[in-house]
Each structure stands twice: as C-alpha cells, then as structure tokens.
Amino acid sequence: MGTTSVLPRRLHDAFRLAADAGFDGVEIMVTCDPDTRDPRVIKELSERYGMPVLSIHAPVLVLTAFVYGLDPLVKLERSIALAQQVGAATVVVHPPFRWQVLAARRFEASVGALEARHGVTVAVENMFPVTVLGRDREAYAPSWNPGELAVGALTLDFSHAALAGVSALDLAQQWSDRLRHVHLCDGSSTEPNDRVFDEHLLPGRGAQPVADVLRLLADRDFDGAIVAEINTRSCGADDDARVELLRETARFAREHTMTRASAPSHDDQFARARATAR
C-alpha cells in the first residue's frame, strides 16, 4: 500500500505522513516542485522515513507543461530515468493530449520500446472525456481508455472512471491482467452525463465499486501497487486529521484485498498492528 497525493502537502510532508499512517511506500508525482525530480532529495527522504519509492508519476498535467521539456515522450523517458535512480519499478503516465499530435501517433510504440530498453513498467492511466457546452470532447489521444491501446500495463484511477461516466469494475474486468497499478480513491458517479470534477474522494465515500475491484484483484493474486491518491485539502493545516484520512484509506484497501485463505489470525493481526504503528 502506497501513497502519492495528500493534496495540498509537498514532498517532505508526503513522506512523513505516509510513515505516520503506516504505509508501505510512496509514489512521487513529478511536478513544478524541484524536489520531486531530484533523486538525491528523494533518496534522502526515503531513507529517513523508511518509505521506499514504489513508482514515479510522469509530469503530465497542464500545470507541469514545461517540466522535463514540452515533448510528452521526453517527459516519460526522463521520468523512467528518475525511477531507475530511486529504485522505483513502475512509471505512471497519461495518454498525450489530443493536440500533442506527434506524441499521440508514437505513444503506443514508444511505451513498449522504453519498457524494453529500461526494464521499467510503464503503466498507462485511464483518463476521461472533457465536456464542453454539454458535449463530450476527446481530450486525450489515442484514447482516454488505455485498455484500447497496444500497451502492456495499465493504471486504474477510480476518480477518473467517475469522470468518464463508467464503472471501474467494468474497466478492471475488461483489462484483465494488464491492470498492474491502482490509484485508490473514489468518485461520485458511475453514469454518463453525471460528472462533476476530479474529486479523488476517499474509497467507499463515492459511488464507484471500489471494494468490488479490490476483491477482484485479490482473487487474481494481484502483485502490483495500490496507491492512495486522495484529496485532503479539507484538512487545511491539520495533519493529524490528514493522517486519519490516510489510515482510513489504508484500512479500506487492506480489508478488501484480504482473501479468506490469507486472513491472519487475531494474534498475527495484533502483531502487524504493533509493527506498523507510528
């Protein structure tokens, strides 16, 4: 179980909060904050808090348009280099924006080539159409749904599924074993034309079938990372409240990925709770 977004806190806080909440590691989203792309800073924080870096999220947001250059594929390759420097096995990336025409044409082939060259898993994340004046516009190419692309590994984000008006369970079933990485959160919709904004609610607080997907992954013996990507802006400066939200998210994940065969005894549960307490 890892954590990436504890909005609006920064990198040092993310490591500290992940440790306080008893997480197993972190995913780092590369942003305009130079610390998020400095391997020396990342490794120092990882060692200080005992939080390995599970994955790197490439800088794909509009706000990071100039981070690692303008070419989405250069951004991806530099993110892979960072992952190798800090020991992360996975890089998460969004499909290019539709106006990034050349990158969109080369995207699928480039993902496969970069994986083969560097030995790092590139897990392409599901996105969503954008609604303008009541009409859906495709903002991502070749598709917002990476299950339609010729790539080997996929990331499932529940909040993005809600924005797309689809069930994350349907996506998980369609993607089968290509689903290799999860951004754990929730959204208030599973239906088309019922979109609000990218909420990143705590799992179980929205309408997406989050528990069902986690149980499906447990049944498949899923060995990828499940990473909490929740919005904690409501906590303001109260990091005690923020840690409680992270702990609630971790409890939800562990409860619904625990199969009957692997359920620990009461004594084992107690020992594990003591071992992870901060």
* Helix, strand, coil fractions of the chain, as percent rounded to 5: 45, 20, 35
**What share of the chain has pLDDT > 70, as a percent?**
87
Does 8 score more than 70 pLDDT?
A: no
Q: Which residues pair with 93 in a beta bridge?
A: 124
- What pLDDT does residue 177 have? 97
160's CB contacts (< 8 A; 6+ apart) are 125, 126, 127, 128, 183, 187, 198
User: What amino acid occupies position 31?
Assistant: T
Question: pLDDT of 10-45, one tens digit each?
Answer: 899 999 999 999 999 999 999 999 999 999 999 999
Query: Which residue in the block uniquely carries the two structure tokens 């130079």?
Result: 34
- What pLDDT does residue 137 have? 73
CA distance 193 to 179: 26
User: In this predicted structure, which of 78-82, 207-211, 233-237 has the lowest mean pLDDT?
Assistant: 233-237
DSSP secondary structure letter of residue 64: G
- What pLDDT does residue 258 have? 85
Does 276 score more than 60 pLDDT?
A: no
Q: Return the structure tokens found at 248.
A: 């609630």
Q: How many other CB atoms are found less than 10 A from the CB of residue 118? A: 15
- What pLDDT does residue 130 have? 77
CA distance 160 to 248: 21
Query: Which residue in the block uniquely carries the two structure tokens 């702990």?
Result: 247
Query: Which of the four pLDDT bands, split at 50, 70 and 90, describes residue 269?
Result: very low
Torsional sign, CA 245, 247, 248, 249 = positive
Domain extent listing, the chain:
2-262
Question: pLDDT of 66-76, one tens digit each?
Answer: 999 999 999 99
Q: What is the rounded radius of gyration, in angstroms, for the C-alpha atoms of the chain?
A: 18
> The whole model's pTM is what?
0.90
- What pLDDT does residue 29 have? 94
DSSP 78-93: HHHHHHHHHT-SEEEE
For domain 2-262, which CATH number applies: 3.20.20.150, 3.10.450.50, 2.40.10.480, 3.90.190.20?
A: 3.20.20.150
- What pLDDT does residue 6 have? 63
